[in-house]
Structures are given as C-alpha cells and as structure tokens.
Structure 1
Amino acid sequence: MKDGFIKVACITPKVRVADVTYNVKQIQEAMEASAKAGAMIVVFPELCITGYSCHDLFYQRTLLTQAKAGLLSLAKKTEDLSGIFFVGLPWEHQGKLYNVAAALCGGKVLGLVPKTYLPNYAEFYEARQFTPGMQEIVNVCLEGQETDIPLGTDQVFRCREIPELVIASEICEDLWTPCPPSGRHCLHGATLIANLSASDEVTGKNAYRKDLVAMTSARLYCAYLYASAGEGESTQDVVYSGHSLIAENGSILVESDLFATGMVLSEIDVYAIAAKRHMMSTYEMTDADYYETYFSLSLQETKLTRFVDKAPFVPSDEASLRRRCEEILDIQSMGLKKRLAHTGAKTAVIGISGGLDSTLALLVTVRAFDMLGLDRKGVIAVTMPGFGTTDRTYQNAVSMIKSLGATFREISIRDAVLQHFADIGQDAECHDVTYENGQARERTQILMDIANKEGGMVIGTGDMSELALGWATYNGDHMSMYGVNVSVPKTLVRYLVSYYATYLADEALADVLRDVLDTPVSPELLPPKDGVIAQKTEELVGPYELHDFFLYHLMRYGSEPKKIYRLAKYAFAEDYDEATILKWLHTFYRRFFAQQFKRSCLPDGPKVGTVSLSPRGDLRMPSDACAELWLEQIASLYK
C-alpha cells in the first residue's frame, strides 16, 4: 500500500425478504470471497440483513431482534478477515426505528450511521417506518459486544496504517438530495464515502445514477462506493437492479451490470485524492464536532485491475476525442485572436519547419485570422532551411503554407550561421550544442526582426512536452511573443493535426498533414544521412508517450517516481520493458528539474487542459531546486 492503492468492493448479495438467517449466510460468504480477492473496504446494500422491501414488517420485534443477532454474527466474522465492511439493517433506539449502516472491523461493530433523508414520495414511503438520523452521536449497546457503539451521522472511521484513508457513510437517498451528508463528511476529512443503497430501477435512471455518483466524487475529491439492492427484494411495485458503482475523483472505475448479483472490484488511490485536495485552496476543512473511530488493516501490495490510461492527455473514445480537439483548437485560436486584437498587430510571423508543432501553430494562426476576419496573407510563414533540413520537410512546409493561403517566405540560414560560426570561432565541422543552438537562435532572430519590420508578432510553436524536458534552445525556439502550443502535450499535438486533416482540411492539405504525421519528430539541426532525417528526438530524449505519462502523474497527483514507474509498467506492459521505462523515467526527472529556468521565463500562451507548466499558472517551481530526492528513489528501483 506504499503507493496509495487499496482494493475495494461493492457487493449485491441475493436476499430473501425478512429471512435474516439466509441473508446473513449470503453476506458472510460474500465477505469471505471479497477478502480472498484482496478487498479491504467492502460495501453491501441498504438494509441487506433483513432485505430493504420489508415495509411494515420492520415493526415486528422478531425481525428487529434477529437483525441484531445477525449483525453480531457478521461482526464476529470480521475477526478472521482483514478489512472493514459496511452492512445495512434496521435499528431501534429510544422507541424509534433507524435505517443504519453498520461498520464492522476486527470482530466488532465500530459504529452505526443512520440515514439522514427518508424519501416519502412517489413509490417511496420510508418515513412511515423510520426516523431521520441524528447528527449528534449517542452510545448504544449490542448484546454480545462489550464496548458501546456510536450511533449518529457525524462520524468517520480513520485507518491507523493509512492516515489519508478516512471513511464515512451515507445511505441511498442521502446522495440524491441538495445537501448530501457526504459534503459535510468530506469537509471533516473523509476521503471515501460508502453508500448503502436500495435504488429501484426505472428507465433511464441508471445513467442518471452513474452521473450522480461520478460528479459527487468529482465535486468532493473523494472515492465513492455505491452498493445497491438487487435480486430477492420484493417486486410488488418496483424492481431493484443491483446497480453498483465505484468512482474516484470524477471517474467511474467500475460498475456492475444491471440486474446482476455479486461483486465488483477495483482499487482506489487515496494518495491521488489527498493530492487533489492539497492543490485546492478552496477545499476548506471544517472544525465540526465529529466522532472518530480508528480501525486497522493488515496491508499488502495491491494488485492493480483498474484501467491505467497510457495516453492520459488523449480521450480514449472517438467522439470525446473529436470534441476535445475542437475545444482545444478553439481555445488556442481565441487566445491568439485576443492577443492580436489587443496589440493591433498587422501580421503574425511563424517559422514553419514541416514538423508537427509548427504545423499545429500555423493551423491555429490561420484559424485566429479567420475569426478576426483578417486576410490570411497577414500570416507570414517563413521556412528557414539549414544544415539538417530534408527535402521531405521542406516540401511539406511549402505545400502547407500555400494551401492555407498564408504568405510564403524562404530565408536560408546557412550563410548567416556560417558567418556567425566564423565570428565566434566555431568549427562548422564540430556538430556540438553550439552548432545546433546557433541555428535555432538565428531562426528566432529572423522571425523577431520580420515581426518588427511588418508590425506583427512571432507565434511560438513549442509544445508542453518539450518544455517539460527543456528540449528547446534558450532564446531560440524557446522564445516568442505568444506560444499557442505551450500547454499542449506532444501526444495530443499529433491528434489535433490528425483531426484537422480528417475533418477540416481539403484533400490537398489533408495529404500534406498526413505526411507530416508520418515524419519522425526532429529539430533537423544535424546534417541528414542520404537525404533522410538523421536526428530523431525520441532516440535522444526518449519516447514522448512515456514522458507525457510521467508528466501527467507528476503534475496532476504529485506522484512519487516509484509509483509512476509502477503505473507505467502496468500501462505500457506490451510496449516497453522495465529497463527502458526506468531509463527514460530517470531522464525525465533529471531534465525536468534542470530545465526549470527555461519555464520560469515563458512567453504567454493559453492553458488548454488540466496540466500546465506556466510560471504564472500551474507551476511555481524554483529554478534551482535539487532533484536528488527523486533521483535517489529512481536509483533504488534498479535491480
């Protein structure tokens, strides 16, 4: 559990209405099965010990007495199981009946959480039998258990071994109200909400229920376990589908099929939940008077079954990807539109290499000009052939510029760079960093001076992945007057260009864009070999799909290197061996820390997603921070 994952389960057992003996046996067997599967937190449905649909049978003392005996039996069962279990039953207190969730762990009933909101509309009439739960905690006793049991809504259960794991409970209707108790619970520190439910099924309700659980976990930055009643409940007027859901921070990790019994399993990441709360200054914790009960778990490494996306910046389904691409292009274009209008720039100057990043920047720039109703001829697209330029990239650049109706200019940098090398005493046959960066800075000088001459601004082309690695020449391609790609990761740049080619471009432009997509990523600063690109970025700094994965988990969740390594091994199991992943993880951290000075003075550019490296936005990082702690942890992962 050192990486924050803990296995959880929601279980819908078969029940018989009012048959406590049968129901307890089914719950016990399910508890054993969940423990065998490694689940540490297990949630059962509302009133599952008796069955939810007992109605006026809840008035019968025989049923109430047997329910308490069944609860004691289940509690004792947990002596042999490592985990905390939530089961539902009716509870009598001072002449009133309460619909409660009982937390069981270590052979004891740790607490009873009553339902706050009792539905008494449409097909529901719970207020006929039950009383709304009290917030103030009272102590009750259970014959057969020596210690008193807290009863009341305002209580949480804290794990001794994992301080970030704090569990609270609400019951069914509580979730569907304007002010669910879970909000209050989370503001007192709860990171996981256990909801014991008996939600009947009507057409369309399952989709709404799923959205409700997902959005609650998103709004509260928590894990949400929703276990619902199913087969065996009375179908006198309604039918129960057993729709169970496990959500975390807005994402549904797993859900059951409708009208199915059994168990759904996944793993929640309590460290990720805690990290999101750390970052939210408006997530204000309360000092409300809550009762806290501590419990212990026997922890072990949690085997992952949940989906780990190897392309977390890219939506996995086609429809969502199309929407995301259109949104991002709009954000980029609207940002540039505003800056052009505000500065009164007559032109936009952009260097076009025939690579992915400058292609996307050009597409965004002409889109911004279209929004402003400006002639695309005001986009001055400059190709600047150098020592590493290939015919393929050059032809693609020229074709693209002309197809988009921008103004084409070609300015070779060869003579100017050779003169510069002579001025500083650089051997033109020495292909070192000076040889490479001298070309990048010459290109930036040309663009800046053209912008001055034409009353325009230079549009930056570099993407967020390059900024994370510092793969940009300081005061070269690192500099511009507005960077439209500054928060777009490399893995997403590819999809944006592909989207444009598929849905927005004419046939001629689409052909060019597709060839750009097929071209290896390269700065083209070293001479080609036999006319082919010799300098391939991903051979030098590593695969961008790995670096984007590392960046996402570092920035979104503050994850440690060892956790990112574990997730990457899981996500890229079919793509890279462990040694390769570890090698590039080390490269990522080394470069990320060493290159912060380049990010500290970034030009303006629009934030388009949840991760940004802007020094004015998401990342206030000292330029001189040491990477030793992180690199030492990576070193410990080598076998």
Structure 2
Amino acid sequence: MSAAPDRLKIAMAQISPVMGDIAGNRRLIEAARVRAATAGADLVVFPELCVVGYPPEDLVLRPSVQEACEAAVHGLAALTADGGPALLVGSPWRDGGKLYNAALLLDGGAIVAIRFKHELPNYGVFDEKRVFSAGPLPGPVPFRGVRLGVMVCEDMWLPDVAECLAETGAEMLVVPNGSPFEAGKWDMRLNLGVARVVETGLPLLYVNYIGGQDELVFDGGGFVLNADRRMVVRQPDFVEHLQITEWRRGNDGWHCEAGAVAEPLDRLSAIYQAMVVGLRDYVTRNRFPGVVLGLSGGIDSALSAAVAVDALGADKVRCVMMPSRYTSQQSLDDAKACANALGVSYETIPIEPAVQAFAGMLAPAFADRAADATEENIQARVRGVTVMAISNKFGHMVLTTGNKSEMSVGYATLYGDMCGGYSVLKDVYKMTVFALSRWRNAHVPAGGLGPAGEVIPESIIVRPPTAELRENQLDQDSLPPYEQLDAILEMLIEKEMPVRDIVATGQPEDVVRRIQHMLYVAEYKRRQAPPGVKITARNFGRDRRYPITNAFRDLSK
C-alpha cells in the first residue's frame, strides 16, 4: 500500500457549458483536462452538472437526456486510463429508480466514486426538488490517498454536510458550484465558505460557472480558503479560467500555497458585465445574427444599445428611430449622436402614417370618446410592430429596453415597448440605469467590443425621462421621482417589507400604498414580458412568482 501523498495539484476549471449541448460540454471538459495535464495537475474540479448545464429544469427529466449524460461521463472516465489527471464532474445520475444531482470522480479509466447532492434548493430561481431526489449525507471520497469532502453547491450553504464530512474524516472540502450572479452575492459566497471552514477546521476549494443561461448569468469567482480562513486563490469574474492550485500536507493537515487572487469587480462593473455576458450568450447560443432595437433618444434605449454593442459588436446591432408627431428635435439629435458614437446601423422610420391609419380605422368605434392612454399605446404598439417586422425580415432579435422601475408599476405598453425577445434592463432600477450610463462613458468592460469614451451623450443622461407619447409628457407626471420610486420598490420587492415599516422610513403612506397597488395590478403585464438578465436578489419571473389574480393589499398601520 503506497504512502499517503504530501503534495497535490488541483485544477479549478471555471468553464461555460451550453445547456443541453452534452457533446460540446464534454469537449470543454476534455480541453480543460489537456491544459491541466500540461501543468501537472492530479485532479480537475468542474462546476456542478457541467455535463448538461445548469439549471437544466425539466429537460433533465427526459430519459434520452439522462442516457446521453451517462454515456458522456463513461466516455470521460475512459480518458483517465492514461494515468493523467482525474476528473470531478457534475451530471444527472440515475440510481435505484431515482434521479440525482451527482458529483462523480473519474480516475484510472473508471467512475471510482459518486456523491449525490444532499441539500436541494427550492427557493428563488431554484426548484431542484421538482427534478432531483436528495442524496444521503455523504462521507469523504478517497482519492489517491487523500479523503476529499465533496459538497455540491447548496451543500455548502448549510452546515450539515460539512459537519458530516468533517466527522467522517474528510481532509479538505471541495465544492462544485452553480451559483448565479446577483449584485453583492460574492460576499455571501465568501462568508458561507468561511463559516464552513470555521466549523470544520478544513480548507475549502470552490469552483463556479461563468456564462449566461436564459435569465441567469454565472460570474465565476472560484476561490480557495485555507483552514486559517485566509483566501489564497481567487479566480477572475466572468471569464473562462483554469487555475492550478498547489497543496501540501503538514502536521496540521492540508493547506494551499498562495496563488493569484483576482479582485472582485465593483458593483457597477459587475452589473454591466453581467448584462453583457447574459445578452451575448442568449443571442449567440440561440443563433440570432444580431439584435434590433428602437433608439428613442432616451437613456434606457441608449444604455441597451451600448450593452448590445459591447456584447455583440456594432455590426450586429441595428438601431431604429421611430418618430411620431410628439418626438422632439432633441430626441432625434440625441439618438443619432448615440448611434454615431457606438458605430451602429441607424435608420429612421416615421410612425405617423400608421398612427393616422389606426385613428381613421378606429374613429367609428371611438366616436364621442376623448383621447386618452389608448392613443398613446397605439403609438407604442406601432413601434412594436415595426421592429418585429424588421426582426422577421432579417432575423435579428428584438431587444426591449424597459427598466425594472417601469416594469414594476406597469409603466410600459403590452405588445408595444414590451414587445421583443430579451431585455438587459429588466432587473435594473432606473437610478442604476443612470449610474451605469455614467460608468460606461468612463469605462470599457473587460472583453467589451464597443468603443471607449462617451457613447451615451451627456444630454441623454441629464434630460428628464419622457415617453413622448403626448405633448410635454414627462415620466414624473405619472410616477414619483425615481429616487423615491426605486427606494419604495426595493423595500416592497427585494425586502418584502410591510407598508407600515416602509412608512416608518419616512416615505408618505399614500405614495407607498399607490405604488403597492400599481405593483400588484401590473403582474399580468410582467407575466408576458420577455426574459432578462437577473441582477437583483428578486427578479421578476424566476424569483418573484406572484399570482396575477390577487386581491390582497397590505393594510397594516
């Protein structure tokens, strides 16, 4: 029997699998193993469910998907017969008539150990209990004389699995993860990792995805904590990355030698990068040739266009100005200046002929009725039809430009400005839109394909927001100031605070109750809205699942 090793090289594979592309994901894993082998790695750790992608939702219930994943795992296991690095991969796995979220250790040409995820998240964007069975509390995985404590994602979020592993002889904690981005979440992951290290006295290695999957974006940021809680390795955010970590066994157990520690992105940089990655992967993985959007001269469409150019390149972004009789010269000038700064295709298609055609067509039905929001919405819907026609003709996906503040209170037109395939601002409050616009004028995001310098004219940023659907219209005619609106919405949505507690912060009760009502009655609109990048702790769609028919109003005093 060989002596236990005193040195170990573990590669952390921060990769971006494509949902359901099992053959392609296998190639990603194989390529990472080749690079790790060149660096002399003993083991390569991949994120959870890397063979199929995360989160697979009901796709994973298909027997053909399960069979393909298992075949891919067996094929990967066969590669390890060459004596090179072992692999710790994640895949759905059938056992005893049940389906599990599994981590599988592949070494020496075989599957040498399997551990099933014990803690299945069933909150927010997660619904794993719908598709997976919970595994038992796991014991350590023997690997070449070392006992690895494998915890799959949520198993790190709670103490039970780490406690069990420590009590049964694990020497280090290894965490394959699939943790989606939200602003501020890095601190949460680090704090949870520290808590598990403190509780067990064991070092911890954590590996995460990068890339976009529908509304979710994964930001990477894998890290290593030694038993003294010191972070000695951190992978960069939002990029594919292979990190070789070097471990030594001492009298007090295993420790990782200090390596590269990438700084986490600041809040605005991280949000902007998440929007870029989310849009890029949604468009490219769904094989759209590019995007088309209405460029109105307002800040939302300008920021959306900037994100699109950074994600896809100017040659894949088509902007359309669709003026009506209410469109100001300033809007025309600002939209053109923004398009020129970004270097995108730009054209003008006036909507007035179509608006007049609808007015004439509807005149008999609307006889003796005064003009109201109906006529405003017709303009928005004509614009929706126009960009959808361009999409149909040329194949470009329509990018919608509404922000979270507007979507929260229904300040958007169903089948009008809500018309499209994806929204990068869906989970971004209006005040953050302003902050991001100024940030982008001062920075080019890592990997961004857009130009440096001022790409959103200052006149767009400082101008009071307006939909320009009637004379002299401003958003503030219908809504509280955005500073106030965003503060109230964050307390209602992210924090689920009662009205009385919001009022106690100094907000007027009548305004809070009005915003609460608008939030609830707009649910039917949001249910029909396109997907968009998750940024906050509770995005509309996967996170916040409220009924459309809902008579409840918080009447607390």
The two structures have a TM-score, normalised by structure 1, of: 0.44
Q: For residues 478-526 of structure 1, what are the alpha-carbon distances to aligned partners after superposition, in whole Å with 9 as ceiling and x for unaligned?
A: 221111111111111110001011234878735x521111111111101
Which of 353, 375, 379 in structure 1 is aligned with 2:317? Answer: 379
Instruction: Measure the CA separation in 2 of the matches of 1:321 and 1:334.
Output: 16
Q: CA deviation at 1:623?
A: 0.4
Q: Helix, strand or coil: the match of 2:399?
A: strand
Residues 170-249 of structure 1 aligned to structure 2 (within 5 Å): 215=191
Q: CA deviation at 1:333?
A: 1.4
- Does 1:464 find its partner at 2:395? no
Which of 380, 399, 415 in structure 2 is aligned with 1:475? Answer: 415
Partner amino acid for 2:350? Answer: S
Match of residue 295 from structure 2? 352
Instruction: Measure the CA separation in 2 of the matches of 1:589 and 1:219.
Output: 37
Q: Helix, strand or coil: the match of 1:345?
A: coil
Instruction: Measure the CA separation in 2 of the matches of 1:553 and 1:476.
Output: 29
Match of residue 455 from structure 1? 395
Match of residue 611 from structure 1? 538
Match of residue 362 from structure 1? 305
Which of 573, 578, 585 in structure 1 is aligned with 2:512? Answer: 585
Instruction: Measure the CA separation in 1 of the matches of 2:339 and 2:496.
Output: 41
Match of residue 479 from structure 2? 541
Partner amino acid for 1:360? Answer: L
Match of residue 549 from structure 2? 624
Task: Report if aligned partners of 1:347, 1:454 keep a CA contact under 8 Å in 2.
Answer: no
Task: Report if aligned partners of 2:401, 2:423 keep a CA contact under 8 Å in 1.
Answer: yes
Match of residue 599 from structure 1? 526
* More moved, 498-507 vs 488-497: 498-507
Instruction: Measure the CA separation in 2 of the matches of 1:219 and 1:433.
Output: 54
Task: Report if aligned partners of 1:350, 1:458 keep a CA contact under 8 Å in 2.
Answer: yes
Match of residue 139 from structure 1? none
Q: For residues 45-92 of structure 1, what are the alpha-carbon distances to aligned partners after superposition, in whole Å with 9 as ceiling and x for unaligned?
A: xxxxxxxxxxxxxxxxxxxxxxxxxxxxxxxxxxxxxxxxxxxxxxxx
Instruction: Measure the CA separation in 1 of the matches of 2:349 and 2:264.
Output: 37
Match of residue 46 from structure 2? none
Partner amino acid for 1:619? Answer: R
Task: Report if aligned partners of 1:459, 1:483 keep a CA contact under 8 Å in 2.
Answer: yes
Q: For residues 526-567 of structure 1, what are the alpha-carbon distances to aligned partners after superposition, in whole Å with 9 as ceiling and x for unaligned?
A: 12xxxxxx1111231212222221222223332101001112
Q: CA deviation at 1:427?
A: 7.6
Q: CA deviation at 1:600?
A: 1.3
Label 1:597 to 1:399 Cα distance change in 2 as closer, same or farther (>3 A): same
- Does 1:401 find its partner at 2:374? no
Label 1:499 to 1:427 Cα distance change in 2 as closer, same or farther (>3 A): farther
Instruction: Measure the CA separation in 2 of the matches of 1:557 and 1:619.
Output: 11
Instruction: Measure the CA separation in 2 of the matches of 1:410 and 1:427.
Output: 32
Partner amino acid for 1:448? Answer: M
Label 1:591 to 1:378 Cα distance change in 2 as closer, same or farther (>3 A): same
Instruction: Measure the CA separation in 2 of the matches of 1:428 and 1:525.
Output: 21
- Does 1:421 find its partner at 2:359? yes
Instruction: Measure the CA separation in 2 of the matches of 1:355 and 1:369.
Output: 21
Partner amino acid for 2:434? Answer: R
Match of residue 388 from structure 1? 326
Instruction: Measure the CA separation in 2 of the matches of 1:467 and 1:364.
Output: 19
Q: CA deviation at 1:429?
A: 10
Q: Helix, strand or coil: the match of 1:557?
A: coil
- Does 1:489 find its partner at 2:434? no
- Does 1:509 find its partner at 2:454? yes
Match of residue 520 from structure 1? 464
Instruction: Measure the CA separation in 2 of the matches of 1:480 and 1:219.
Output: 43
Partner amino acid for 2:358? Answer: H
Instruction: Measure the CA separation in 1 of the matches of 2:194 and 2:512.
Output: 29
Q: Helix, strand or coil: the match of 2:268?
A: helix
Label 1:326 to 1:343 Cα distance change in 2 as closer, same or farther (>3 A): same
Q: CA deviation at 1:590?
A: 1.0
Partner amino acid for 1:519? Answer: R
Which of 253, 260, 274 in structure 2 is aligned with 1:331? Answer: 274
Instruction: Measure the CA separation in 2 of the matches of 1:624 and 1:392.
Output: 41
Label 1:481 to 1:427 Cα distance change in 2 as closer, same or farther (>3 A): farther
Q: Helix, strand or coil: the match of 1:409?
A: strand
The two structures have a TM-score, normalised by structure 2, of: 0.51
Match of residue 100 from structure 2? none
Q: For residues 188-242 of structure 1, what are the alpha-carbon distances to aligned partners after superposition, in whole Å with 9 as ceiling and x for unaligned?
A: xxxxxxxxxxxxxxxxxxxxxxx99x9379979xxxxxxxxxxxxxxxxxxxxxx
Q: Helix, strand or coil: the match of 2:494?
A: helix
Q: Helix, strand or coil: the match of 1:350?
A: strand
Which of 375, 385, 400 in structure 2 is aligned with 1:445? Answer: 385
Instruction: Measure the CA separation in 2 of the matches of 1:555 and 1:454.
Output: 38
Residues 16-415 of structure 1 aligned to structure 2 (within 5 Å): 215=191, 323-370=266-313, 376-415=314-353
- Does 1:554 find its partner at 2:492? yes
Match of residue 433 from structure 1? 373
Partner amino acid for 2:523? Answer: Q
Partner amino acid for 1:610? Answer: A
Partner amino acid for 1:591? Answer: M
Task: Report if aligned partners of 2:465, 2:474 keep a CA contact under 8 Å in 1.
Answer: yes
Task: Report if aligned partners of 1:460, 1:483 keep a CA contact under 8 Å in 2.
Answer: yes
Q: CA deviation at 1:323?
A: 2.0
* More moved, 545-554 vs 440-449: 545-554
Q: CA deviation at 1:338?
A: 1.4
Instruction: Measure the CA separation in 1 of the matches of 2:438 and 2:283.
Output: 26
Q: Any stretches of 5+ residues in structure 1 without a counterpart?
A: 1-181, 188-210, 221-319, 371-375, 528-533, 570-577
Label 1:396 to 1:331 Cα distance change in 2 as closer, same or farther (>3 A): same
Q: CA deviation at 1:585?
A: 1.0
Partner amino acid for 1:215? Answer: N
Give the aligned CA root-mean-square deviation in angstroms: 3.3
Matched residue pairs, number?
306
Task: Report if aligned partners of 1:541, 1:587 keep a CA contact under 8 Å in 2.
Answer: no
Instruction: Measure the CA separation in 2 of the matches of 1:421 and 1:497.
Output: 37
Task: Report if aligned partners of 1:589, 1:627 keep a CA contact under 8 Å in 2.
Answer: no
Q: CA deviation at 1:394?
A: 1.4
Instruction: Measure the CA separation in 1 of the matches of 2:270 and 2:332.
Output: 30
Structure number, greater radius of gyration: 1
Instruction: Measure the CA separation in 1 of the matches of 2:397 and 2:529.
Output: 15
Instruction: Measure the CA separation in 1 of the matches of 2:442 and 2:389.
Output: 35
Task: Report if aligned partners of 1:351, 1:382 keep a CA contact under 8 Å in 2.
Answer: yes
Q: Helix, strand or coil: the match of 1:541?
A: coil
Q: For residues 559-610 of structure 1, what are the alpha-carbon distances to aligned partners after superposition, in whole Å with 9 as ceiling and x for unaligned?
A: 101001112x1xxxxxxxx6xx323212211101111001112212110222
Instruction: Measure the CA separation in 2 of the matches of 1:553 and 1:613.
Output: 15
Q: For residues 284-307 of structure 1, what are the alpha-carbon distances to aligned partners after superposition, in whole Å with 9 as ceiling and x for unaligned?
A: xxxxxxxxxxxxxxxxxxxxxxxx
Label 1:601 to 1:506 Cα distance change in 2 as closer, same or farther (>3 A): closer
Q: Helix, strand or coil: the match of 1:381?
A: strand
Match of residue 111 from structure 2? none
